[in-house]
Amino acid sequence: MSRVLCVILNWRTPEMTLRAARSALAAMEGIEGAITIVDNDSGDGSFETMRAAAAEWPRVQVLQSGRNGGFGAGNNFGIRAGLPDGSQPDFIYVLNSDAFPAEDAIKQLLGHLIAHPEVGFAGSYIHGEDGGPHTTAFRFPSIASEFEGAAKTGPISRLLKHAIVAPALPEETTRVGWMAGASVLMRREVLDEIGLFDERFFLYFEETDLCLRATRAGWAMDYVVESRVMHIGSVSTGMRDWARVPDYWFASRRYYFEKNHGRIYAGMATLAHLAGLGIYGLRVILQRKKPHTPPYFARDLMRHSWRSRMSQES
């Protein structure tokens, strides 16, 4: 029987993480394996709270990573630890601490991967507390997508429709470029081949990079609508309350493009994004609308790009 290791990363949300673990435990019924909760050095008593609460739960272990290295590093810590008996699983299931799988959600992903040996990763249909779908199935970012996404203009989006990173969600199980890491089941053999999450990403773009590496190695990515997971979203990151996009987002974006496409391509992607922002800004002025771009975004993008270029040349 295939064994599954479910990894849940905690950062200062112990009660919610425990709630996610309870949902995962119910969804693991009939599946061989275990759940590992990793505390990413919260420093607020999270580890002690979760360890005490999970002490009587079957197949659940709570580990302390010892540092807050970000999403990828924390999940890697749990993956490397393996199952509680020290053995390695056949599949790794990464679940966000604010995501709650339906009782058959993991079984649906597992069954899909077993039935489709060419598929490396399978991701769930994610919905909010109100039942509304969350966009979690994407195409890979490109120069064209940077321009289209920043311009937010109908004619440009229609012209570059095949480059849109977040197209309309599929209504049936289908192949995609990459999936958000809120609920993804991965083959262990794929990770053995391509490596784990790149820990140079602190937050954002790490799952994009991992899926791209798997795709380049010949593995497919499937979005499985039969696997349903309720997701609150942005609880640990605080993204919904951002007054300004943090530096680590810009760092992750730049590193993704440079690592996977080279410095020249990364620079062109930034120029394309700025050009798109210029078009959008002009449209906002002409139409007298309130802009939806985060405050100081263009300035921060230019500043971070320039600072990165200077550090590379020094």
Close Cβ partners of 313 (under 8 Å, ≥ 6 residues apart)? none
Helix (H) or strand (E) run with residue 74 in it: helix 71-81
pLDDT at 294: 87
63 forms bridges with which residues in the sheet?
38
Give yes or no: residues 8 and 46 share one domain. Answer: yes
User: What's the pLDDT score for residue 239?
Assistant: 58
> pLDDT by residue for the chain (314 residues), tens digit each?
899 999 999 999 999 999 999 999 999 999 999 999 999 999 999 999 999 999 989 899 999 999 999 999 999 999 999 999 999 999 999 999 999 999 999 999 999 999 999 999 999 999 999 999 999 999 999 999 999 999 999 999 999 999 999 999 999 999 999 999 999 999 999 999 999 999 999 999 999 999 999 999 999 999 999 999 999 976 545 555 567 899 999 999 999 999 999 999 999 999 999 999 999 999 999 988 888 888 899 999 998 887 766 666 55
Is there a contact between 5 and 90 (Cβ–Cβ < 8 Å)? no
- pTM here is 0.94
> Residue 298 domain-assigned?
yes
Q: Which residues contact 33 (CB under 8 A, 6 or more apart)?
A: 3, 4, 5, 6, 59, 83, 89, 91
Residues 59 and 182 in one domain: yes
Q: What is the pLDDT at residue 288?
A: 86
In this structure, are 182 and 291 located in the same domain? no
Q: Parallel, antiparallel, or unpaired for β 3-10 and 91-95?
A: parallel
pLDDT, one tens digit per residue, over 292-305 is 888 899 999 998 88
- Res 309: pLDDT: 65
CATH number for 41: 3.90.550.10
Structural domain count of the chain: 2
User: Do 308 and 178 belong together in one domain?
Assistant: no
Q: List, as one string, the DSSP characters of 269-281.
A: HHHHHHHHHHHHH
Distance CA 305, CA 287 (A): 30
What is the dihedral sign for C-alpha 243, 244, 247, 248? Answer: positive
Residue 307 domain-assigned (yes or no): yes
List the domain range (segments joined by +) for residue 297.
247-313
Distance from the Cα of residue 233 to its chain's centroid: 11
Q: What is the pLDDT of residue 313?
A: 59
23 and 87 co-located in one domain: yes
Rounded to 5 degrees, what are φ and ψ at 83? -70, 160
Indicate whether 195 belongs to any domain: yes
| 138 vs 153: CA distance, rounded Å | 19
Is residue 97 domain-shared with residue 228, that is, in the same domain? yes
Q: Which two tokens stand for residue 82?
A: 């393996």
My answer on whether 286 and 216 are in the same domain is no
Phi-psi region of 131 (alpha: psi -120 to 50; beta: other; left: phi over 0): left
**Per-residue pLDDT at 311:** 65
CB 141 within 8 A of CB 165: yes
* 198 backbone dihedrals φ, ψ, rounded to 5°: -75, 115
Nearest Cα to Cα of residue 40 among 236, 211, 310: 236
